[in-house]
Amino acid sequence: MSGALVLTDVAFVFMGFFLLMLGGEGLVQGAIRISEKLRIPPLLVGFTVVAIGTSLPELAVALEAVIRDSPEIAVGGVLGSNVANLMLVLGTAAVLGACSEPDQGIKRDSIAVVFSTFILTGFVLSGEVPVFGGSLMVLLLCGYYVYAYLSAIETGEDFDIADSWLPSNLAIAIPSCFVGGTMIWFGAKLLVAGSTGIAGSFGVSEAVIGLTVVALGTSLPELAVTLIAGLRGQGGVAIGNVLGSNVMNILGIIGIASIIGGGIEIASEFASRDIWVVVATTGMITGILLSGKKISKNMGVLMIFIYVAYMSYLASLGLN
């Protein structure tokens, strides 16, 4: 293999992550300011602008992977990201004592995660997500958001949105959205190109690259948002961010990628190994939340250990 090519691919990956994170932040902050100017209620902004906007980097990567005929990166990115969100992100928050106060929507969101994981498992075991299946997933996601929004209004659930660092000016907010979206698009191209290049150079399957490099990188925003919310004493918001992200990953990202790509073929290794890791970790965390228990610091340490062990196992596969 050429050392120069490998370094170029690694640079593409880091540049891709940088553009995705910066672009996602610019897009969300600009959208928040536009929403304020249009006097849209903060709760609705939370369920639309923030929830969907923060998932755009993952969506862009999945679409680029499907377009480049690398569905393993798209599917691996979603599966790996969901495990990272539950084990690494929530585990780290728990160790810092940021998962002690579940809020009103936790039970609802936990059930949504279990339901969406059940649907994903069925498609993974069948070996593909057809266009019809993807369309159904997107419709279910829309239904989930509508139900969650109406439920939040009925119960008086609050949705805290941090004040945007952008000036409250449409002349700045609108270009911020445009520039942010452009950066996400280019970032996705660089990340997928670099990831597939690394996979080819080292003989590692694109599935493993998706489960590790892509998944961990696209989970960094969730880690940052969750830790900030937790350190502010908003433990329920921290948990809700992770659960909502996992639902969006499954129903939204896989669903839309399937529609755009004319269906997604799913590698057999996902069915024999990784989907069961997703099922086990999802069952573990939602079981705790649905029982009304808190995620303790000791449990957080165990969660991080499980994630590190899983990543070490995947890394060993790449070295064989």
- How high is the mean pLDDT of the chain? 82
Buried b (16+ CB within 10 A) or exposed e, 282-320: beebbebbeeeeebeeebbeebbebbeebbeebeeeeee
Between 87 and 52, the more confident residue is 87
Q: What is the DSSP letter of 163?
A: P
Q: Point out the least confidently predicted range of 47-51, 79-83, 103-107.
A: 47-51
Identify the pLDDT of residue 279: 97
Average pLDDT for residues 184-204, to the nearest whole number? 80
In this predicted model, what pLDDT tens digit does every residue of 134-153 receive, in sequence order?
999 999 999 998 888 888 77
Average pLDDT for residues 111-122, to the nearest whole number? 95
**HSE-CB for 88 with a 13 A CA cutoff:** 22
Identify the pLDDT of residue 295: 85
Identify the pLDDT of residue 51: 66
Nearest to 66 by CA among 248, 198, 199, 253: 253
Which band of pLDDT confidence, cut at 50, 70 and 90, is reported for residue 284? Answer: very high
Average pLDDT for residues 175-204, to the nearest whole number? 82
pLDDT at 101 over 80: no
Domains and CATH numbers, the chain: 3-319 (1.20.1420.30)
Question: Could you give the C-alpha distances from 65 to 76, 131, 207, in angstroms and in order?
Answer: 11, 17, 11
Q: What is the DSSP string of 56-123?
A: HHHHHHHHHHHHTT-HHHHHHHHHHHHHIIIIIIHHHHHHTT--S---TTHHHHHHHHHHHHHHHHHH
3-state secondary structure of 260: helix
Average pLDDT for residues 282-294, to the nearest whole number? 89
In this predicted model, what pLDDT tens digit does every residue of 223-243 receive, in sequence order?
776 666 566 665 556 677 788
Identify the pLDDT of residue 56: 77
In this predicted model, what pLDDT tens digit does every residue of 61-89 receive, in sequence order?
888 889 888 889 889 999 998 999 899 98
Identify the pLDDT of residue 227: 66
Between 153 and 160, the more confident residue is 153
Q: What is the DSSP letter of 167?
A: -
Which band of pLDDT confidence, cut at 50, 70 and 90, is reported for residue 163? Answer: low
pLDDT at 319 over 60: no
- CB count within 10 Å of CB 6 equals 16
